[in-house]
């Protein structure tokens, strides 16, 4: 379920942005902003600058991973932003090769980021291509122990998600998968929704033909960029999107999608890019 939230933080700008409600510890729900900043390949100080810029612009969600080797920069930027910790949603991911060393990996992530908890911790890829309920049990324990507020998976199939649920009784809150107009699949959207799993997309731009007519035509009609059309399309579908940029103007423009709306016809035409794969 998606909605908007007001960010009331003394001394900070007040803003409203769309969120999806995801399952947290002990049946609680938490708000995950639909737009986050991706940080893969942001390194050498770029990630710190990009996250500071994004939080300044209005983003309240950042995506990192152990594998990106920038959790230290992401965490420092969150701490230095002046925002209350509870107002920023931070995701990191455990590499599949660290299966069996879950708690140590999480402790290293927290130490690197200088944070007491994460908002979302994901299994980055199915370890060895398998669902691995034993790994998932360790994620559940980390949530119970308060080190993470929500847990999920990335690059899992629906069958693998069902395997985790059947084995443990706990369904991943989120599945982060490669997604964009060029990969749209209504049945996959429905399968996630039926299970209460929030769909989060990665590589929104790289996964799509940016010259596709339905995108360029919508961009021209609304006086925006193709990238803004793509972000807006995710938000109107209620799908979490984490565009990466290390350039402040692009970080700003990727977030500047709240004063236009794609029509039902435009949404249908963009969806059709997925069927032409």
Ligand X SMILES: NC(=O)c1ccc[n+]([C@@H]2O[C@H](COP(=O)([O-])OP(=O)(O)OC[C@H]3O[C@@H](n4cnc5c(N)ncnc54)[C@H](OP(=O)(O)O)[C@@H]3O)[C@@H](O)[C@H]2O)c1
Contacts with ligand X by CB under 6 A lie at 38-40, 63, 124, 154-155, 176, 202-206, 225, 227, 242-247, 250, 253-254
Contact between 71 and 92 (Cβ < 8 Å): yes
Structure tokens at 254: 């990727």
Catalytic residue, from 48, 59, 68, 156: name it. Answer: 68
Nearer to ligand X, 104 or 206 (CB): 206
Checking 111-116 for CB contacts under 8 A at 24+ apart, the result is: 112/71, 112/72, 112/75, 113/64, 113/71, 113/72, 113/74, 113/75, 113/78, 114/72, 114/75, 114/76, 114/79, 115/75, 115/78, 115/79, 115/85, 115/90, 116/85
CB of 6 to ligand X, least distance (A): 26
Q: Is 243 helix (H, G, I), strand (E, B) or coil?
A: coil
Nearer to ligand X, 53 or 102 (CB): 53
CB of 242 to ligand X, least distance (A): 5
Nearer to ligand X, 149 or 234 (CB): 234
48 is catalytic: no
Q: Is 224 helix (H, G, I), strand (E, B) or coil?
A: coil
Residue nearest to ligand X (CB): 38
Contact between 96 and 125 (Cβ < 8 Å): yes
Nearer to ligand X, 242 or 262 (CB): 242
CB of 203 to ligand X, least distance (A): 4
Q: Is 75 helix (H, G, I), strand (E, B) or coil?
A: helix
CB of 259 to ligand X, least distance (A): 16
Helices (H), the chain: 46-57, 71-80, 102-113, 133-144, 158-168, 186-195, 213-222, 226-237, 248-255, 264-275
CB of 64 to ligand X, least distance (A): 7
Nearer to ligand X, 42 or 165 (CB): 42
Active site residues: 68
């Amino acid at each position: 379920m998606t909605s908007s939230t007001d960010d009331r933080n003394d001394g900070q700008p007040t803003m409203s942005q769309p969120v999806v409600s995801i399952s947290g510890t002990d049946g609680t729900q938490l708000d995950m902003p639909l737009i986050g900043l991706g940080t893969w390949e942001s390194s050498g100080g770029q990630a710190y600058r990009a996250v500071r810029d994004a939080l300044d612009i209005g983003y309240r969600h950042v995506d990192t991973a152990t594998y990106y080797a920038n959790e230290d920069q992401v965490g420092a930027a969150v701490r230095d932003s002046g925002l209350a910790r509870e107002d920023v949603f931070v995701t990191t991911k455990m590499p599949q090769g660290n299966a069996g060393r879950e708690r140590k990996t999480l402790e290293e992530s927290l130490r690197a980021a200088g944070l007491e908890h994460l908002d979302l911790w994901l299994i980055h890829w199915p370890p060895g291509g398998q669902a691995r309920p034993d790994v998932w049990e360790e994620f559940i324990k980390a949530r119970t122990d308060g080190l993470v507020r929500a847990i999920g998976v990335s690059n899992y199939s629906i069958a693998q998600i069902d395997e985790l649920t059947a084995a443990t009784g706990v369904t991943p809150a989120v599945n982060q998968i490669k997604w964009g107009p060029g990969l749209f699949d209504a049945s996959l959207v429905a399968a996630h929704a039926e299970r209460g799993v929030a769909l989060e997309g990665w590589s929104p731009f790289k996964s799509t033909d940016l010259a596709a007519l339905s995108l360029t035509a919508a961009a021209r009609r609304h006086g925006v960029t193709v990238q803004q059309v793509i972000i807006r399309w995710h938000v109107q579908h209620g799908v979490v999107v984490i565009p990466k940029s290390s350039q402040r103007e692009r970080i700003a423009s990727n977030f500047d999608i709240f004063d236009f709306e794609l029509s039902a016809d435009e949404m249908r035409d963009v969806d059709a890019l997925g069927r032409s794969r």
